[in-house]
C-alpha cells in the first residue's frame, strides 16, 4: 500500500522538527480520523515502513505502539497492524455554545448579577462541608441527591414557594434544564408523545423535549400566561409551563387558568411540568405560590439556583409526583449517578445558615433599581416601544412596531457593541417583532449608558429601512 507520509528532518519553523515518531503518529492519526485510512486497513510491517521512510525501525515501532494505546490501531498475531473500527466513528456534533463569543454589553434575559454572587458565604459553606462531611460523602451517594440538601430544600420550597413535597419526592439536578430532561424522558419511556409548550416560550426547553423524543405542541400565551382555553383536543400527555412568571412575556397564570390547567391534566391523565425559574424576584405584586402546591400528584415542579444565585453552579431540583418518581430516579442514575455531592452539601449549609434569604434580601432592591432605571430610560429614548412584563423577574419585553426588522436591528446593535435578544427566538408561530431585555446583569450606570445608545441604533435602523 502507498502511504503519503512525509517526515521533516530539518524543521522549518526555527524550533527544530518534532521527533520523527511523533510526526509519524500525527500523520497516521490524522489519516485515520479523516477516513483516508479506513477501519480494517492493514498497515505495512514496521520493517517495511521504516525502509520506505528511511528511518530506524524503532521510530515506527514507537508510533504504532502509541496509536495502539490510543485505540486507533490493533495488532493481531499473524495479521499485523490494523486500523481499529472504533477510530473511524464520527465525532458527535458539538452543541452550540452559550458562552458569549466576545463580551459586548449584553441584555441577556434571565442573567443574574454575577458580580453580586456571595462568594465569601459560598466559600465558607464549601469549606465547612469539605472539612466536616463523613468519609462516606466522598463515595457514591444516592443519585437523587444528598439527604441533607433534600431535607433543606423540602423546608425552603415549602415556605418560600408553597411546594408541598417531602424530601423523598425531591430529586437534585444539575440545573432546571436537566430536571425538564429527566421528567421528559421518564414520560417518554411510559409512552408519552406530545407536550404542550408556551408560545412564545423558552426555546431551550422545546429543544430538550424534542431531544427526548417528545413533540412540543405550541399553545399561545397572552398577558396572563398560557391560554388554557386552547388545550382541549390537543391529545397531549403533558404541558410545560412557567406559571409564576411566563417566559418571556412575564404574565402570571391567574387562579382561573390554574384551575383550568389542572382540570385538563386530571381529565387527560396528563402531567404538568412547572418551570419555576425566577419566581423569587417580584417588585410590584404579591408572591405567587407554586402550582405544585395545589396538585402535587399532577405537577412535576422544577426549580434551580440559576437565578437566585448563579447559573454556573448548575444546581436545580425537582418535586416529582409519586407515579413518576421511579422513572425520574432511573433517568438521573443513567445520566450521571448524581449531582456533585459537595456542591449539594454546600447549598444545604448555605440555605440553613440563612445565606440564601440574606442574598435575596440584598438582591431584590438592586434588581428593582435596575428595572426602574431601564423602564425610565426606555420611556425617554424609545418611547414607541411597548414595554411589558415589568412587575417581576430579571427581564422585560419590548414589542416593536410591526414594520421593524428584528434581525436587522439585532445585527445593528451587535455592531455597535451591544447584544440584544429577539422575541422571535422564543416564538414558534410568527408574531410581531420584539426584544427581550434582561437587566439583571447590567448595572444602573450601564443601563444609563446603553439605552441612549440603543435609541440611536434604533433610529439608524428606521432610517436605513426608510431608504
275 versus 331: smaller Cβ distance to ligand PLP: 275
Binding of residue 247 to ligand PLP (CB under 6 A): yes
**Cβ–Cβ under 8 Å, residues 191 and 318:** no
Is residue 63 left, alpha or beta, with left meaning phi > 0 and alpha meaning psi from -120 to 50? alpha
What cell does 134 get? 463523613
The stretch near ligand PLP (CB under 6 A) out of 26-34, 207-215, 303-311, 342-350 is 303-311
CA-based diameter of the chain, in Å?
Answer: 84
Binding of residue 225 to ligand PLP (CB under 6 A): no
Q: How far apart are CA 380 and CA 387, in angstroms?
A: 12
Please report, as residue ranges, which positions from 188 to 217 form the binding site for ligand PLP (by CB under 6 A): 202
Q: How far apart are CA 266 and CA 297, in angstroms?
A: 10
Binding of residue 367 to ligand PLP (CB under 6 A): no
Q: Three-state SS for 438?
A: strand
Q: For ligand PLP, which residue of 46, 242, 292, 396 counts as binding (CB under 6 A)?
A: 242
Burial of 193 (0-12, 13-18, 19+ CB in 10 A): middle
* Shortest distance (Å) from residue 45 CB to ligand PLP: 54
* Shortest distance (Å) from residue 449 CB to ligand PLP: 24
Q: Three-state SS for 249?
A: coil
* Shortest distance (Å) from residue 439 CB to ligand PLP: 14
Binding of residue 304 to ligand PLP (CB under 6 A): yes
308 versus 450: smaller Cβ distance to ligand PLP: 308
**Residue with the shortest CB distance to ligand PLP:** 175
Binding of residue 152 to ligand PLP (CB under 6 A): no
241 versus 410: smaller Cβ distance to ligand PLP: 241
Q: How far is CA 305 from the centre of its chain?
A: 12
Instruction: Spell out the alpha helix ranges (H) of 4-111.
Output: 20-34, 46-53, 57-69
Q: Which helix (H) or strand (E) holds 211?
A: helix 203-211
81 versus 177: smaller Cβ distance to ligand PLP: 177
31 versus 316: smaller Cβ distance to ligand PLP: 316
The stretch near ligand PLP (CB under 6 A) out of 45-53, 125-133, 148-156, 172-180 is 172-180
The stretch near ligand PLP (CB under 6 A) out of 4-12, 174-182, 258-266, 384-392 is 174-182
Q: For ligand PLP, which residue of 306, 344, 396, 424 counts as binding (CB under 6 A)?
A: 306
Q: For ligand PLP, which residue of 46, 55, 72, 110 counts as binding (CB under 6 A)?
A: 110
* Shortest distance (Å) from residue 245 CB to ligand PLP: 8
Please report, as residue ranges, which positions from 268 to 297 form the binding site for ligand PLP (by CB under 6 A): 275, 277
Strand partners, 399: 386, 434
* Shortest distance (Å) from residue 315 CB to ligand PLP: 8
* Shortest distance (Å) from residue 222 CB to ligand PLP: 17
**Cβ–Cβ under 8 Å, residues 290 and 162:** yes
306 versus 424: smaller Cβ distance to ligand PLP: 306
Q: Which helix (H) or strand (E) holds 361?
A: helix 355-381
The angle, 0 to 180 degrees and rounded to 10, between the axes of the packed helices 57-69 and 46-53 is: 120
Binding of residue 423 to ligand PLP (CB under 6 A): no
Reference 371, options 107, 104, 105, 118; nearest CA is 107
Binding of residue 345 to ligand PLP (CB under 6 A): no
Q: Which helix (H) or strand (E) holds 219?
A: strand 215-222
Measured in residues, the chain has a length of: 467
Q: For ligand PLP, which residue of 31, 143, 243, 311 counts as binding (CB under 6 A)?
A: 311
Distances (CA, A) of 403 to 18, 50, 157, 381: 60, 70, 45, 19
Binding of residue 175 to ligand PLP (CB under 6 A): yes
Reference 284, options 380, 363, 364, 382; nearest CA is 364
Binding of residue 177 to ligand PLP (CB under 6 A): yes
241 versus 400: smaller Cβ distance to ligand PLP: 241
311 versus 433: smaller Cβ distance to ligand PLP: 311
Q: How far apart are CA 38 and CA 196, in angstroms?
A: 46
Residues that bind ligand PLP (CB under 6 A): 110, 175-177, 202, 242, 247, 275, 277, 304, 306, 311, 316
Amino acid at each position: 500500500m502507498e502511504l503519503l507520509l512525509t517526515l521533516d528532518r530539518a524543521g522549518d519553523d526555527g524550533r527544530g522538527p518534532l521527533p520523527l515518531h511523533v510526526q509519524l503518529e500525527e500523520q497516521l492519526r490524522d489519516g485515520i480520523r479523516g477516513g483516508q485510512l479506513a477501519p480494517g486497513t492493514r498497515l505495512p510491517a514496521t520493517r517495511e515502513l521504516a525502509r520506505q521512510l528511511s528511518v530506524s525501525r524503532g521510530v515506527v515501532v514507537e508510533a504504532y505502539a502509541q496509536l495502539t494505546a490510543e485505540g486507533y490501531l490493533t495488532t493481531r498475531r499473524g495479521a499485523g497492524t490494523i486500523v481499529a473500527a472504533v477510530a473511524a466513528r464520527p465525532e458527535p456534533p458539538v452543541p452550540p455554545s452559550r458562552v458569549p463569543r466576545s463580551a459586548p454589553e449584553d441584555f441577556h434575559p434571565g442573567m443574574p448579577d454575577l458580580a453580586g454572587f456571595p462568594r465569601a458565604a459560598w466559600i465558607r459553606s464549601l469549606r465547612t462541608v469539605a472539612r466536616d462531611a463523613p468519609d462516606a460523602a466522598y463515595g457514591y451517594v444516592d443519585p437523587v441527591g444528598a439527604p441533607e440538601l433534600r431535607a433543606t430544600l423540602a423546608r425552603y420550597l415549602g415556605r418560600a414557594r408553597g411546594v408541598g413535597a417531602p424530601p423523598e419526592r425531591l430529586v437534585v439536578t444539575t440545573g432546571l434544564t436537566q430536571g425538564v430532561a429527566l421528567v421528559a424522558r421518564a414520560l417518554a419511556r411510559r409512552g408519552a408523545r406530545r407536550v404542550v409548550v408556551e408560545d412564545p416560550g423558552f426555546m431551550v426547553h422545546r429543544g430538550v423535549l424534542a431531544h427526548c423524543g417528545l413533540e412540543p405542541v405550541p399553545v399561545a400565551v397572552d398577558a396572563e400566561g398560557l391560554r388554557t382555553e386552547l388545550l382541549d383536543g390537543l391529545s397531549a400527555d403533558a404541558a410545560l409551563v412557567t406559571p409564576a412568571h411566563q417566559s418571556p412575556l412575564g404574565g402570571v397564570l391567574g387562579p382561573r387558568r390554574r384551575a383550568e390547567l389542572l382540570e385538563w391534566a386530571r381529565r387527560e391523565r396528563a402531567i404538568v411540568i412547572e418551570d419555576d425559574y425566577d419566581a423569587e424576584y417580584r417588585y410590584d405584586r404579591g408572591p405567587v405560590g407554586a402550582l405544585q402546591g395545589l396538585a402535587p400528584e399532577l405537577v412535576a415542579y422544577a426549580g434551580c439556583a440559576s437565578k437566585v444565585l448563579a447559573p454556573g453552579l448548575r444546581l436545580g431540583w425537582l418535586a416529582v409526583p409519586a407515579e413518576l418518581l421511579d422513572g425520574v430516579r432511573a433517568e438521573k442514575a443513567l445520566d450521571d449517578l448524581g449531582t456533585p455531592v459537595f456542591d449539594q452539601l454546600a447549598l444545604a449549609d448555605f440555605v440553613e445558615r440563612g445565606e440564601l434569604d440574606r442574598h435575596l434580601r440584598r438582591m431584590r432592591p438592586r434588581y428593582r433599581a435596575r428595572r426602574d432605571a431601564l423602564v425610565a430610560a426606555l420611556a425617554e429614548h424609545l418611547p414607541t416601544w411597548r414595554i411589558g412584563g415589568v412587575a417581576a423577574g430579571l427581564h422585560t419585553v419590548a414589542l416593536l412596531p410591526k414594520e421593524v426588522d428584528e434581525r436587522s436591528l439585532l445585527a445593528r446593535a451587535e455592531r455597535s457593541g451591544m447584544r440584544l435578544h429577539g422575541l422571535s427566538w422564543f416564538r414558534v408561530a410568527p408574531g410581531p417583532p420584539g426584544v427581550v431585555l434582561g437587566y439583571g446583569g447590567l448595572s444602573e450606570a450601564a443601563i444609563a449608558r446603553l439605552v441612549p445608545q440603543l435609541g440611536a441604533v434604533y433610529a439608524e435602523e428606521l432610517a436605513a429601512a426608510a431608504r
